[in-house]
Structure 1
């Protein structure tokens, strides 16, 4: 489980979203862009309006509707490596999905000498339907409907008084997400129904002041969540577990995030310490039992950078973060995610942590059009629980085991680019390497593994004439997976190339020609080549 300070701070933002428990989507080819493997139709309508309400005041509105109709055919073979065996599954799917989105917002904005005000009211409606027919190891047909309705209000206020300013932000969101899934197999049917809703609020204020040579700033606020979920599953044996959920979760996050920044003579340092106090209140309405706990979370971070010259600089950073509680995993009953996967949550207030260290170097010489940067990151993660996957005939039961789990990762990347007058363009080279070591449980048995990946990408762009540009990019990547307990190693390579040519002989029309080549190694003995070409012509009736 990876984690960063940004994950900790994101819980104070505006991105609270109800979990999407049902997952029925057409499979994607991971090594080719999605639009290459799909037959879809998309429509988009949008309108914008602006009204002036007098000097320094205006009102804007926007309405957007989009829909996407997608048809997909795909075949997949999956290998599950167990300590004592390997499980193979085959499937061929024919899928059809309909995605619809309708959103509208109204924004009031005022900007005077003493006041800045922006208030945005947003309504967002989404409704998606998916149908899938599957043949292979577990033949079935499944139909899923997911609907998401949101209403939010976002307020930003800045009050000015001389050289001082007072800032307040307030975001309120109400959302409802009903989801249904129907699976039909030979001689049996399963039906999953889920109804979840949540109210989320985040109000905060910030202030800062300067004490030579240190800038001190602080953000204070409160986050509140009231969430409920009801679910009911039929057609699955209750010997696997409870088939219903009826719960509510309530918590209030009181947080403060102080920060100090120091700059002098090419050296800069920044230290931040987000702190939060969170009382959680969880109720299982089926058993009428409460599970409550109060948490205090700390996540210090230190960043330092030194400019050796105006062109060369280096930075180091380190952080320690307590993992935010995954409160949407709090449920006891089973949920059918799709025809193959069942999930079961947990009621556990224990949290993990993450530590990381990072070193970066950057060189910039604009006069010679030379830019170089590189970084190395090391992270260590701890969790008090580990995911577990049980193989139960046609089902995979995904749950958790209360056991200490540690993982660590190396990540290195670099990029160099140089402008060349001879080709009137740029030559660049970027590369990355990652190593991850961790563990997972399958059928209650621990499996340790290591995953490595490496890639290198050279690219060249050239302006042949004023109306003709050319670019070429090549990417080579290799991935390794080592199952340590069974001494098994698998690896595969991928190569992709793209040659693009852009013609702009006039301001009214534009022509783009693109050729792509993909080489995908599926196993050591099986690989595929794809050659694809595009031609795009654009004409403007204005200008």
Structure 2
């Protein structure tokens, strides 16, 4: 498969290269003076299809590269107040000079007509008005309908299938990657256009030296001073429901700020709007999403997959945030971001587990209550100028979680709870300073984090894996304690040397991580504590883990018109040690070489080809080196008494893109291959009756290979106001696995093959003034099998689609219908789920106020059904999850201005 796909890409690339032709020359008037801004268009004869075009510069010069297999091509030359030239020429590389005769243009009537999509250099602009429907209110509503752009369920934006690296409003990055809030709350009426900045390098001083693989989004507002934002207030029944959203915003040349307060118990995950979705450029320093370091956990109820969260999330959330940007001077900016969320979630599910023989082995009931308090504060001081760069980011994150679980496994019940407070401080600094003709970069990242976690399980004998321990057998409660303190420092310095089209950047750095881990398991009876000892092995750990990695690398960049090549040659000196209780004394000293290549070539204005390849090495962390057992959950007892893990990956990939704003066509196809080797393999010892297991690591090498391909074709049809796209993805994963409860030897491995195929379709139409339709559908087919084990054979099919239709029978009146459906099947089991919503909205256009009445889940489905396959244990699970019942909601929506 890999060879076939690679050959296909080489063939495609060769065909395009050899079919290319270039026509260049000058355009002048009859006095011999050069004509600027004249257009030279190459078309197919008799087909009215534009192949390529170019605009003359101030000296009248032009150059246009195109691809055509026809014998002849049509060339049109136009300029204002001059007579158009239209001639046929041979399809060949040649020089054509044109002289245009003056001709006065009589304008009888002027009709301004905005182009849907325009392209200038690496910037593609979309006229937002051309893609919106009457039902759309926010920027995100419209972005979903623009060709070449996708909006994921988490709010992240993809362009041509790849994530963006920046999200600007009027050229400023207020949100520093956490753009979900603006995307969801910025009124579409405030936006003039949306720009895609292809291959965007956010650090200005590097823009002519180092390019980027990713694009950025810039939202251009209609007014230079914009006071805007969205607000909603909702009340409902079944049971008592509320939803309040208040997001005022101000955007000026000097200041930008966004305030936000949201609270609801209607299943909206508003607290995730604070997640970082775009991470910018490595030279900007380091920023990370903060989440619970979840070593210990209660048993969790299952959640539906590929279903909107609002269908099943039983929450009660309050989320408050503030984001402020101010220009301290012409070049210096100060940003301050702060947020706090308080969230309570209920969840309940039942899971029936079937083994490879299709026998029912376990029925599990889990009911959860999750409680989260999270706070974040961040100050960013930056200068991003053409001649220097500076950025310092200081961040505090605090998390105070507490989870509860009531469970029953084959009629054996338990109560479980955790307390997991966590605090983190980070500071990231990056500076680029010109020194003579060189650029000097210094980066520093320092982080300290303290995680404390406690897990309590009652009764103690619920934990089957601890029933044979020495001491504490009569205890009432099992208590697992864990404390992890982490210090991390990452420092580097580099100098950029540029000559003509080449940039050489030698870099040296030092990465250091220190972890201190304390864990212990004991039994509690009343006020007394009993020590546990498990089959002669310790149930406690006191570990000091250190990872010191000095490194040096050379980065080489070659850039000329249409071609960009990046090479890096890092040499890493890895020094890892782990010492502590249970005779823990492990060290690893290894030098690794990790070369990487990235190349992009603009075949024409519309076609772009890129390829990449490289080698990576990763090593085990504190999560992989504890000899004593840790009770990670009531069902999971784990020990990692192995060598320090070493994982080596060789990867290669390529990508071909076509984006033609003239014909509104966007296309991309990509291929990736990864060969991964690990020196440690983990074996699961499963007790089928309780579904509890012990994980142990062994020094056995395993290998996996993954081939994956993806393609997508999208087109906007202006005449029919329709945007349509179709996508296909394929992956083949071959890996080695130790079957559960097998003997851990090299001969025990089985080869497993997993094939996954997916088809996606997206369609939206606004052709009729009284109707707009949005439709998305996905089909996924997964086949997992092993030639070494006939029982290891499973096929899973998944289909889900979402339809939204809005009818406008009269002015200011809207009727809405939503239909979500998901089917999953596995072996002899099939689960089907369908949800329907109805809505009526009255709009007061002048006041920009909407009043909406909505009925959600009108069929009152109480549970969601799903079928899944677990390849680790060769098991099928049939799951039912309690979801939100029928709800009736009245909502008032408004713009702040």
The TM-score normalised by the length of structure 1 is 0.87
1:106–1:363: structure 2 CA closer, same or farther, 3 Å change rule?
closer
1:94–1:327: structure 2 CA closer, same or farther, 3 Å change rule?
closer
Give the match's secondary structure for 2:535. helix
1:509–1:225: structure 2 CA closer, same or farther, 3 Å change rule?
farther
Give the match's secondary structure for 1:408. strand
CA distance in 2, matches of 1:172, 1:414: 40
Residue 517 of structure 2 corresponds to which residue in structure 1? 229
Q: How far off its partner does 1:440 sit?
A: 1.9
Q: Work out whether 1:443 is the aligned partner of 2:741.
A: yes
Residue 402 of structure 1 corresponds to which residue in structure 2? 699
Aligned mate of 1:71, from 339, 343, 346? 346
Q: How far off its partner does 1:159 sit?
A: 2.8
- Answer with 1 or 2: which has the greater Rg: 2
The answer to whether the 8 A contact 2:319-2:341 is kept is yes
Give the match's secondary structure for 2:719. coil
Q: Work out whether 1:170 is the aligned partner of 2:444.
A: yes
CA distance in 2, matches of 1:407, 1:377: 14
CA distance in 1, matches of 2:759, 2:895: 42
The answer to whether the 8 A contact 2:521-2:539 is kept is yes
CA deviation profile, 1:417-461 (whole Å, cap 9, x unmatched): 111123212110001111112122222343432222111011111
The answer to whether the 8 A contact 1:124-1:150 is kept is yes
1:113–1:386: structure 2 CA closer, same or farther, 3 Å change rule?
closer
The answer to whether the 8 A contact 1:468-1:504 is kept is yes
Residue 6 of structure 1 corresponds to which residue in structure 2? none
Q: Which has the higher strand share?
A: 1
The answer to whether the 8 A contact 1:113-1:160 is kept is no
Aligned mate of 1:457, from 760, 772, 797? 760
Q: How far off its partner does 1:282 sit?
A: 2.0
Which residues of 2 match residues 262-341 of structure 1 at below 5 A? 262-264=558-560, 266-285=562-581, 287=583, 290-341=585-636
Q: Which moved more, 1:348-357 or 1:84-93?
A: 84-93
CA distance in 2, matches of 1:57, 1:316: 37
Give the match's secondary structure for 1:422. helix
1:172–1:178: structure 2 CA closer, same or farther, 3 Å change rule?
same
Aligned mate of 1:199, from 472, 478, 487? 487
The answer to whether the 8 A contact 1:450-1:483 is kept is yes
CA distance in 1, matches of 2:447, 2:301: 30
Residue 91 of structure 1 corresponds to which residue in structure 2? 364
Q: Work out whether 1:124 is the aligned partner of 2:397.
A: yes
The answer to whether the 8 A contact 2:445-2:491 is kept is yes
Q: How far off its partner does 1:69 sit?
A: 0.8
CA distance in 2, matches of 1:406, 1:114: 48
Give the match's secondary structure for 1:323. strand
Q: Work out whether 1:471 is the aligned partner of 2:774.
A: yes
The answer to whether the 8 A contact 1:70-1:98 is kept is yes
CA deviation profile, 1:103-137 (whole Å, cap 9, x unmatched): 22334446789765433322211011111111133
CA distance in 2, matches of 1:385, 1:469: 55
CA distance in 2, matches of 1:353, 1:443: 27
Give the match's secondary structure for 1:411. strand
Q: Which moved more, 1:176-185 or 1:207-216?
A: 207-216
Which residues of 2 match residues 10-89 of structure 1 at below 5 A? 15=288, 19-24=293-298, 25-48=300-323, 59-79=334-354, 81=356, 88-89=361-362
CA distance in 1, matches of 2:548, 2:610: 36
The answer to whether the 8 A contact 1:13-1:202 is kept is no
Q: Cα RMSD between the aligned structures?
A: 3.3
Residue 242 of structure 1 corresponds to which residue in structure 2? 538
CA deviation profile, 1:72-119 (whole Å, cap 9, x unmatched): 1111123455xx997832211111100110122334446789765433
Q: Gaps spanning 5+ residues in structure 1: where?
A: 1-8
The answer to whether the 8 A contact 1:127-1:148 is kept is yes
The answer to whether the 8 A contact 2:352-2:360 is kept is no
CA distance in 1, matches of 2:574, 2:456: 38
Aligned mate of 1:140, from 414, 423, 433? 414
The TM-score normalised by the length of structure 2 is 0.55
Give the match's secondary structure for 2:896. coil
CA deviation profile, 1:293-331 (whole Å, cap 9, x unmatched): 322122112334444433233333322222333343111
Q: Work out whether 1:542 is the aligned partner of 2:893.
A: no
Residue 652 of structure 2 corresponds to which residue in structure 1? 357
